[in-house]
Amino acid sequence: MFQRRLIRVILSLAAFTVFDRAADAQMEAKNAVDFLKKLDQGINDWTADNFKRIADDLKKQDAEWNKLRLSIDGIALEGENKYIEATQSLESAVREYESSPESDLIKQQLYLNNLYKLASLYAEMSEYEKAEKCVERAWRAQLARDGASNTTLAARIRGLLTVASVLHKCDKPHEAAKHVDICKAWCDQLPKALYQPDENSLPNAPDSIRGEFQPIATSVPGIQICEHLPMLARQAERFSILRSTWHGSDTHGVGVHYNLTGLRHAPRQAGEPQLDRRDPPSIGGVIRQLRGDRNNLPAAVQLPRPVGDQNNAMWGGQHAGFLGPRYDPLFVFDETWRPGDPLPGFTAPVDVDAHRQSGRSNLLATVQSQRSTDSSVERDYQRFQQLAFDVLRSGQAWRAFRLDDEPRQSIERYGDNRFGRSCLIARRLIEAGVGLVTVPWIFKQSEQNFDTHSRHFAKMKEMLLPPVDRAFSALLEDLAQRGMLDETLVAWTGEFGRTPRINNGGGRDHWGRVYSTVLAGGGLRGGRVVGRSDPQGGVPADNPVHVSDFVATIYHALGYGSETRVTDQTGRPHFVVQGRPVLELLQ
């Protein structure tokens, strides 16, 4: 009777997922994860109360102590957000118990706790089928121990996870065959110009929080943005705003790394995290390893400058990290270069034609073939040297960096400044075969970028928002008119937001507790707002989106998910997608 009732619960939950997939199914999936989180906290509390007594008892028996040690290791790894390693340790603990069943009730409960904790971790990783199997094992163990009367909890969670599993299957990443490229605009700390969510939030906040600017309507009823983004407002159906993005750090380098990788940087002893080969890779580094380069062009490019300020040249997260330098994006950094002009050093001297250049290349290859290159440094040097020759030989592909054949009205539409011209080059690079182009804001000095600790409103109105509004709206319009927007994901982000309260200098300071990010194209839904902040714009009030989920949504559009692995320089595999895609944006 119990099993038939359980089957009816599972089938009824799965049925409304099939026939009414939207709100109810998503709510049940969320309920499953929330329910497991609460159960998980209870397990932690139980563990804290009982581990010492169990440990003292089991240290006398090596085999029994090993079971407990594996459980402790799993919980410790979970605390460090090392979910893959935590599940492996807990799975080992479960297998230890299953190989020698216990009669002691406390030890049996520890076994059940391990299974429920495993289910919680798998659900956090969107591995709903694995979570369901863990709960089923727990249910069977409880059924054998207590009979059907005490298995209602397991039955309920199994039903919820069945729904979550069905929903998750419907929301698998895009087929890898659908080639999506990325244009990423980076403005150091996204402005509160994108914050105006509804009549209950910032527009009605006190002046010391809301500030001088007013919201305006957009092309999508109910969505408002800042009055100084009128061109973007006319294209709101093409992009979605995540108004509840967060990571919690107010440090530039931490936020930069989070937003460019979706992962936390490797530990540092002090100071802002700068570029480091111990760090996880940027999205560009992952694309270069998984996709490879095309058309004699690197798969990832960043121009016209690094993400940094006058005090920090390059914050962490911008290169391939532990994947190694061969997967670094091509950095085109030259403060004297006007984007669109011939690249310095990217053309052969006037008196060296193609025939002479080919002869030089062949001579060099002959000389180098006579000596071994055992050093990794030498191999890297030769690879970069080969890239330089490819630049000189493949002039047509590399013309994507130049704007001398672009109509004047196109340049003016994007804005005839370094940011606008760089966004136009980004579109040309995507057309030429580059997989990801990152365009940071063009000035590093705090008085000229979005780090507005003083005179916030004057800088935003007169210097910052107009060129961004023009360039970003032109990019969306251009991609749509060329039929490229569905295959090109456009992302706009920064390292964090700005404080709700205006400081004494008329500025806003660092704020990582809530900020806005923007996604457009790439097969994602446009014309939507996900989440909202509280009335002061201080913390998420609804549907918080951790930055790892923001980056996971980008990876989802590329066809990558939680099982996607990259390999570091030692051959060790790493899972790079640790967040969950934002379901509201998935088609």
pLDDT tens digit sequence for 102-119 = 566 666 777 777 777 777
> Strand, coil or helix: what is 454?
strand
- Where, residue-wise, is CATH 3.40.720.10 in the chain? 181-341+402-585
Q: What is the pLDDT of residue 326?
A: 92
Mean pLDDT estimate for the chain: 77
Q: How far apart are CA 116 and CA 157, in angstroms?
A: 10
* CATH class for the domain made up of 2-170: mainly alpha
Q: Render pLDDT for 554-566 as a digit per residue (tens, 0 to 9).
A: 999 999 998 899 9
Element (H, E) at 123: helix 105-124
Element (H, E) at 518: strand 515-521
Q: Render pLDDT for 18-41 as a digit per residue (tens, 0 to 9).
A: 333 334 444 545 555 555 555 555
* Global pTM exceeds 0.85: no
Q: What is the pLDDT of residue 126?
A: 65
Selection from 432, 418, 528, 409 nearest residue 478 by Cα: 409
Lowest mean pLDDT among 12-16, 178-182, 329-333, 464-468: 12-16
* CATH class for the domain made up of 181-341+402-585: alpha beta
Q: Render pLDDT for 146-155 as a digit per residue (tens, 0 to 9).
A: 655 454 555 5
**Rg of the Cα trace of the chain?**
27
| Mean pLDDT within 366-377 | 72
**Residue 47 pLDDT > 60, yes or no?**
no
- Where, residue-wise, is CATH 1.25.40 in the chain? 2-170
Q: Render pLDDT for 238-271 as a digit per residue (tens, 0 to 9).
A: 999 999 999 999 999 999 999 999 999 999 988 8
**Residue 390 pLDDT > 80, yes or no?**
no
